[in-house]
A and B are shown apart, each in its own frame.
Chain A
Amino acid sequence: MKTVPLDPAPALPPPRRSFLYQLAAGVVSGVVALGPLAAGLAFFADPLLRRRPTMKGASVDGYLPVAKIAELPADGTPLRFVLFADKVDAWNVFRQQPIGTVYLRQIAGQVIAFSDVCPHLGCKVDYKSGAKSFFCPCHASTFDLDGQQTNPIPPRGMDTLQVREESGVVWVKYENFQRGIKEKVAI
């Protein structure tokens, strides 16, 4: 193998404490070089180290008022509603902003809520009233009225959200779930 010829080493006295010196020089240089980097990486890891709310204004257990029950069609047709809350984005708080949309269905007096975020890759799922089916415009995931997947593209059915009713008003616990996996895991 052809190697680049090295310069001749200068005439040096035989090394005495050389190993200790080399070790010390290596260690101290390492500390000096890695110190600022470590501080920077710890700072960069902030999103993993601190969980912060993305909204304010929900009830203590995370519910937001969405609609009056009277607004929901009795035949079970899904309707999309906008949720309003104070949106928290890093240092900003934006008062009463639309923070997301959900589908609500009423079946025999019971209300079901679906997140309209596709469990596949997070696009917004449409409702096709003609086909009585949910349809995602990104990669054609389809779901039936109960949110069950009707083709193998999405990894799971649509995510249901917890619902409760208080004096004629529907409250929904608005959450986001990990996309692209079989299990429904809140994030």
Chain B
Amino acid sequence: MIRALGDWLDSRTGYRHLLYEALYEPIPGGASWHYVWGSTLTFVFAVQVITGLFLWTAYSPSTLTAWESVYYIQHEMSFGWLVRGIHHFAAQAMMILLALHFMQVVIWGAYRAPREINFWLGLILMQIVLGLALTGYLLPWDQKGYYATQVATNIASVTPVVGPALQQLAQGGTSYGHQTLTRFFALHAGVLPALLVAFLGLHVYVFRRHGITVFKKYRDQPIAPFWPDQVLKDAVACLVVFATILFFVRWKGAELAGPADPSEAFSSPRPEWYFLFLFRFLKYEWVEHNLGLAGGAIYVPGAIMAVIALMPIVGRWKLGHGFNVAFTLALFGGAGYLTWVALDEDRRDPELQIAMAEAHADGQRAIELAHEFGIPATGVLSLLKEDPKTQGPRLFARHCKACHTYNGHDGTHRPVTTATAADLGQFGSREWVQKVLVDYHEVFAPLMNGKEQQPDGTVAIIGERFLAGDMATWSKDNRAALTDPANAESLKALVEFVVQQSGRKDLEPIDESLAKAGLDVFQLGTLKTGTLSSGCTDCHTMHVAGQESPLSENPGSGVPTLTGYAGKEWLLRFIANPGHDDFYGANNKMPAFAETMTERERQLLVDWMTGDYYQPAESKH
């Protein structure tokens, strides 16, 4: 019955002949592990087609949906991490297998007659694969892909004569946008795979026509068919490749960096590792000096491709094959060396490491926010732009680091050369309040670095008015009493009261009874043993939260009010105008940021400094 059906089908289609041709290809000397590389490449391409088609069902190419849909694939959809991970690492496997396949062909001299055409077909396939890698890298529309691909399209733009037109055709305009994504996607998922299939068909057809290239010593050996021995070896090799890909998916996973943001400088743009050698090559000054950008990025690689393309012809001469092998090894050696140099330099570059960590953190943050709140129609960038945790450090680095530090850095973990004002990393916390009380001169010591030219030509140290001021004196006078172990509880109570008055959520929970005891210390200066030289209310204004009448009022004194000290309202008012009578008055030297920052920016900065932003449950402390 099955046989009759088979006969019927065969008479209509001739499938048996096809199957026979496919499976009983003669292999002189029998199956060998040497012959598996071409099959693994074809296999990985098939994996890319399969996973790519499935990714297509969920990907949405536009600047407002590309990152968003990839985020959804990677972090929300079932097995999305797996399918995208396979696609991501299989692309890299393809690069490695391509290099191995190419090296084998050259070393074995498989490019020689009658296989020249097939060698050239292979070179075309290589270009298509590189094109797929390049176009695919942009599609997630993250910072990494966005800036790395900018470099590639700008290289295209320095092509003589047609460059600018080429760039605009690729981008779909003069800058990146929706059309860049739709064009890259059409190339990546449509044009290039179709070309690859066509050329791969020709490649395999011509390969079968000439048969496998066999080492001399096997040429007189008996012939064995492709099926089953070689099929088994090929399949095992594919299995190993696939297992390696899966290992990387589990171990590393496909990263999604922060969403592409043309307004945000990205300080660590790097191409994928397989283009790093070209990237490093272009960084040599002598390349730029002697060859120019077009020379380094287009003519030199073009010349190398030309030499490779001429290999079948050069290989006809006696020494030609030797040259080809030497050239190939030198090429891979050189590329390997440049890749290593690039990686090594990056490892030793602390600024780049910070930038990479920042990009990674932005990506993680965008994912957290998207997961918690969902993404508005304006895209994920608007979530990041409104996020204090993301914007606060940047605003600090832009507006505050000229004088202040934040835990020793500029808010974004970059170093600050000389601080001329207090470190604000712990501002308003229990540690901060205690330190201001006990070690005022230490907290504000950086003020001594701030100098100002006086009208009479002398230089005044700004910090002197604070470090020799009333509060500094008070702190020195009362240091012994406050740090007396017998008064530890009193100090804790005083700090707790001040912290309670800030109303800050990030400093909760408040020990209410402790804070209540702290009120007495604050007002009267009574400690467990002894008293303070004066209570806080002797100089500072204080309206206790929830009480009708003020504890003390002392406006216009140049002594900062402690009403809601270090809380959101206090900080917002302070940053807007520190020279206000409620704050430093005439003593003030800090700029009024109401003039240089928008209200929204000040709000974001303060929300960040007071820890008022979304934290996912597991990282809450």
Contacts and interface: CB of A to CB of B under 8 A. Distances in A.
A39 interface: yes
Contacts of A28: 232, 235-236, 239
A3 B7 contact: yes
B228 A22 contact: yes
B103 interface: no
B374 A93 contact: yes
Nearest to B44: A36
A37 B79 CA distance: 12
A40 B375 contact: no
Contacts of B58: 43, 46
A36 B72 contact: no
A10 B223 contact: yes
A10 B225 CA distance: 8
Given A1-B11, A31-B239, A56-B374, A36 B50 contact: yes
Contacts of B24: 9-10
Interface residues of B, number: 54
Nearest to A2: B11
A126 B511 CA distance: 62
Interface string A23-53: 0111011011101110111111110011000
A32 B225 contact: no
A74 B197 CA distance: 70
Given A21-B228, A36-B242, A40-B51, A6 B80 contact: no
Contacts of B26: 10
B317 interface: no
B465 to A, nearest CB: 50
Contacts of A49: 78
Interface stretch (A11-19, A147-155, A168-176): A11-19
Nearest to A32: B238
A91 B373 contact: no
B11 A3 contact: yes
Contacts of B283: none
B224 interface: yes
Interface of B is mostly: helix
A35 B79 CA distance: 13
A7 interface: yes
A95 interface: yes
Nearest to B222: A13
A13 B26 CA distance: 12
A6 B232 contact: no
Contacts of B80: 43, 46
B312 to A, nearest CB: 29
Contacts of A90: 69, 72, 76
B231 A25 contact: yes
A2 B69 CA distance: 55
A35 B53 CA distance: 15
A108 interface: no
Contacts of A81: none
Contacts of A21: 228-229, 232
Nearest to A27: B235
Contact of B54 (A32, A43, A50, A92): A43
Contacts of B53: 40
Given A90-B72, A95-B376, 13 more contacts: A1-B11, A10-B24, A11-B222, A25-B229, A43-B58, A43-B78, A43-B82, A46-B80, A50-B77, A86-B374, A91-B76, A91-B375, A92-B375
Interface of A: 1-4, 6-7, 9-13, 18, 21-22, 24-26, 28-29, 31-33, 35-37, 39-46, 49-50, 56, 86, 88, 90-95
